[in-house]
A and B are shown apart, each in its own frame.
Chain A
């Protein structure tokens, strides 16, 4: 598995903004690979440029230097094989469209025939457990349900890689646990590759097969940690495992080091 060619490859990605008082280095130099079928979590201290990184690797922003390739093709504009889930579901879903139409819009824009579109949309919405809410408006749903709609929209897009930017940062703890399990289920059911960005250390360990720890800005990958927890994860038993505690302690310490600025880049 480890030797398969990467699906997503990020090489020495750098992004500098033109700030009021000279250039601001948001992302220093980030290099990592995501192999097909992996679930990789990226975790880093707040303000370390996670969102900037995602925007660059999804083709929404042009990096200052470095390269992103998806399935061998350089990413310069948003790629067809990638779907995004944003943190701000309230702004990412369109209030003038129903759940069905929100999920259908990208497919419609792509020119998928109506009958096929309908089937794909209904299946995706059922996958996230909202089959009953197809014809409601997003604003009639709770925050957690709205984020499910956004996940359904990404799933219906049939991407090879699902990129999620702190998707559960704005929902309450219980909803969050449900959504985490949903992501694990979607990942296993659909065999899609997932890149999950979070600032929550527990979440990254619970969800990921691998956790990439970022340093504070200017950002680089501080550590690439394999999560050797059993495949079948459960909110109670997995989180109670000694290994889970070890891993989260390790990640926590690394993030603390990052905050102090004591970290050094891993050689690659």
Chain B
């Protein structure tokens, strides 16, 4: 899944985002981060209702197909419980404290891993991105480390940290770190020459230019990286729980697999889907708020 990530489209007269700002294939096929640039025309309001309706019909169609296929026993019912059975089971799960503590553990691992990855990547990306010497010195190493699938380092993580959340965190941090790091590197290099000349002509020092010009310029890139990283981190969190066995929805899925408890298993898979949806919605909201001034988000001004 070598999705191409374009940098934020700065539109119009501003310098075009580097075409080279790409996301590397991450996690060796383990990720499904939908890579989209923030810049895309918003649908007019009238089309939005229609889109929502179509989306709803799609979901209904999916559930119906599932139900019919399962009831017709095209697939062995041991492996595919009907949609209604799964949904009923999901409701039971929602009343179970075990489920909630598993969900909580997953969310904490995800959030912690994502936070560590983003903070570390912004710091490292800014420093390395701004110092040409460091950039040249690290390029080949980065290009080597970045494509290593996060899953491939699970044994290493377990060896170092045991079957623990810490081991899971190593896995969760790895791929999202590179994702954001890459974006930050391009972001800090994208500072407009006139914007920089302006700041220098008004005698802003190095740190002041970093704070007031470089970081705001890089922000759209960071947010794009963040959104992708959030999805990837979720995938890796569940993966780590499945493989390492640290508490969470992933481990619970494995428990239901070995039971075997197909409705429970499917119910939890649905939960991971909802979780992914929520993460996507939340990051989109963050993007809209933080980048309200950016051409990709703002309404057309009188220009």
Q: Do A and B bind each other?
A: yes
Hey, which bits of chain A sit against chain B, CB under 8 A? 55, 58-60, 77-78, 80, 82-84, 86, 88, 90-92, 94-96, 105-106, 109-110, 137, 139-143, 153, 157
Taking CB as reference atom, which chain B residue is nearest A86?
B194
Contact residues in B for A58 (Cβ distance below 8 Å): 201
Cβ-defined contact, A78 with B302, below 8 A: no
Contact of A92 among B194, B204, B302 (CB under 8 A): B194
Cβ-defined contact, A80 with B194, below 8 A: no
Contact residues in A for B14 (Cβ distance below 8 Å): 90-91
Contact of A109 among B13, B193, B203 (CB under 8 A): B203
Apart from the given pairs A77-B203, A84-B198, A106-B204, 17 other A-B contacts in the complex at a CB distance below 8 Å: A55-B197, A58-B201, A60-B197, A60-B200, A84-B202, A88-B13, A90-B12, A90-B14, A91-B13, A92-B198, A94-B212, A94-B213, A106-B202, A109-B203, A137-B298, A137-B301, A142-B302
Taking CB as reference atom, which chain B residue is nearest A84?
B201
Known: A91-B194, A95-B294, A140-B301. A83 touches B213 (CB 8 A): no
From 170 to 229 in chain B, residues with beta carbon under 8 angstroms from any chain A beta carbon are 192-195, 197-198, 200-205, 208, 212-213, 216, 219
Contact residues in A for B195 (Cβ distance below 8 Å): 91-92, 94
Contact residues in B for A77 (Cβ distance below 8 Å): 203
Sample 28 A-B pairs with CB under 8 A, ordered by A number.
A59-B201, A60-B201, A78-B203, A80-B203, A83-B201, A83-B202, A84-B197, A84-B198, A90-B13, A91-B14, A91-B192, A91-B193, A91-B194, A92-B198, A94-B216, A96-B216, A96-B294, A109-B202, A109-B203, A109-B204, A110-B203, A137-B293, A139-B293, A139-B295, A140-B301, A142-B302, A143-B303, A153-B202
Cβ-defined contact, B216 with A86, below 8 A: no
B14, B201, B204: which has the most chain A beta carbons within 10 Å? Answer: B201
How far, in whole Å, are A105 and B213 apart by their CA atoms in the complex?
A: 11
Hey, which bits of chain B sit against chain A, CB under 8 A? 12-14, 192-195, 197-198, 200-205, 208, 212-213, 216, 219, 293-295, 298, 301-303
Cβ-defined contact, A86 with B302, below 8 A: no
Contact residues in B for A137 (Cβ distance below 8 Å): 293, 298, 301
Known: A78-B202, A78-B203, A88-B13. A109 touches B298 (CB 8 A): no
Contact residues in A for B194 (Cβ distance below 8 Å): 86, 88, 91-92
How far, in whole Å, are A94 and B301 apart by their CA atoms in the complex?
A: 15
Cβ-defined contact, B212 with A78, below 8 A: no
Cβ-defined contact, A109 with B205, below 8 A: yes
Contact residues in B for A90 (Cβ distance below 8 Å): 12-14
Contact residues in A for B212 (Cβ distance below 8 Å): 94, 105, 109
A156 to chain B, nearest CB (A): 10
How far, in whole Å, are A157 and B203 apart by their CA atoms in the complex?
A: 11
B193, B194, B202: which has the most chain A beta carbons within 10 Å? Answer: B202
How far, in whole Å, are A82 and B192 apart by their CA atoms in the complex?
A: 22
Contact of A142 among B193, B198, B295, B303 (CB under 8 A): B303
Contact residues in A for B301 (Cβ distance below 8 Å): 137, 139-141
